[in-house]
A and B are shown apart, each in its own frame.
Chain A
Amino acid sequence: MSGAKKSDGGTPEAEWAGLMRAGLSSDGASYRLLLEEIVPRLRKFAAGGLARAGIGNGDAEDVVQEILLAIHLKRQTWMTDQPFLPWLNAISRHKLIDVMRRCGRRGEVPIEGLIDILPDESAAPETSQSELTRLVGLLDGKQQAIVLAISLNGASIRDTAAKLGMSEVAVRVGFHRGLKKLAALYRDGSAA
């Protein structure tokens, strides 16, 4: 499902803003399409940023996943009447800087205009032994079971609820809290 359309021609701004707007009004399919379409851009951004900072880009996919999580948890901070790309870039940059700090690099890294200069590396292979997998292991029992079922095995909320003997609402809440917890785990640098 990683076959995102390449919109090499014009900027994807209008298309992505439209998808995001739909996504914010609970259109799951649009939202998913948006996330899939931005991943190549995030990969480029992460790989280039890490390379520039002299950090091996083996962690690039971890950075991509952390950015995706931040985009998701902070999606309501995008104002629907504002351009989408500056918002996306700001979140990406914020998370990349975060990762660099954790890697022990102090100070400002020149990231302005990074996206334009990046080597045109084709998509990094998706790792399965990711940082995220490790962090999911740090969640407590119920949350871990929910997050694993939904994100690793692709189970639906309903199936997960049935399997774990919980109400759907409880699964939804537990899942959302689990995601927030994951973002916090990233942030507190349990990495490295």
Chain B
Amino acid sequence: MKTGGLIAALSADRPEPARSPLRAMLIAVFAGALIAGALLMLTLRPRPDFMQAMMTLRFDFKFAVTLLLAASAFIVLRDMARPEVQRSRLRLALFAAPLLLLVAVVLELFAVPQAQWAGKLVGHNMRFCTAFIPLFSLGPLVLMLWALRRGAPANPARAGAIAGLVAGGIGAAFYAAHCFDDSPLFVATWYTLAIAFVTGLGALLGSRLLRW
């Protein structure tokens, strides 16, 4: 086939105005959150004292840090969908949530006597935590990868990993509504572990699904 013929053909191909990947990514966030929320209601449900818990700083902090993670990773991911972006200029934003978490951990260490540190860290349901955060993150992750297939990520594995951070943040925020362990020590250990798993999964899937 001649290149001229190909060009003529490509110019004739206008099925619909090309849509930017950003739109698909936004849909993925909202639809993914809906799925995660539905799963929460169908399985664990929010803790019974949810309303009272909302009045406590530690409980609210879990939402702050997980949603901050999801939002900052999303900002970076928008860049990562572009072929000419190897490293996003905004990648420092990824440090926001870990930094906030670090500050909270330090404050917690001052606020809680040393004898209770281990107990706070181990918490009550770390198994639930490490299993359900990935479960709640699965919907958002799959949708986000689907959206990214409209993009052209320079580095598919890296884009997949960042998609995993977005999904992990969303999944963890919904899990937090159920979770009784509010100490930053618990969050820093088990939430981090679970989200790291989702991130790794994202990298693995991304390296396969996001090739173009």
Question: Which residues of A are at the interface with B, using a C-beta cutoff of 8 A?
Answer: 1-2, 24-26, 28-29, 31-32, 35-36, 39, 61, 64-65, 68-70, 72-79, 82, 86-87, 89-91, 94, 126-128, 130, 132-133, 136, 147, 150-152, 154, 156-157, 172-173, 175-176, 179, 183, 187
Contact of A32 among B7, B18, B152 (CB under 8 A): B7
B113: CB under 8 A from chain A?
A: no
Tell me the B57-86 residues at the A interface (CB within 8 Å): 81-84
Q: How far is the CB of B131 from chain A (nearest CB, A)?
A: 35
Chain A residue with the shortest CB-CB distance to B9: A151
Q: How far is the CB of A152 from chain B (nearest CB, A)?
A: 6
Contact of A65 among B6, B14, B21, B151 (CB under 8 A): B6
Q: Mark B1-40, 1 if CB is under 8 A from A, else 0.
A: 1111111111111110111110000000000000000000
Q: Compute how far the CA of A169 lies from the CA of B126 in the bound complex, rounded to whole angstroms.
A: 54
Q: At the interface, is chain B mostly helix, strand, loop or mixed?
A: loop
Q: How far is the CB of A131 from chain B (nearest CB, A)?
A: 9
Contacts of B21 in A (CB 8 A): 76-77
Q: Is the CB of A75 within 8 A of B18?
A: yes
Q: Compute how far the CA of A29 lies from the CA of B8 in the bound complex, rounded to whole angstroms.
A: 10
Contacts of A86 in B (CB 8 A): 84
Q: Is the CB of B151 within 8 A of A77?
A: yes
Q: Given known contacts A28-B11, A31-B11, A79-B82, is B3 in contact with A68 (CB within 8 Å)?
A: yes
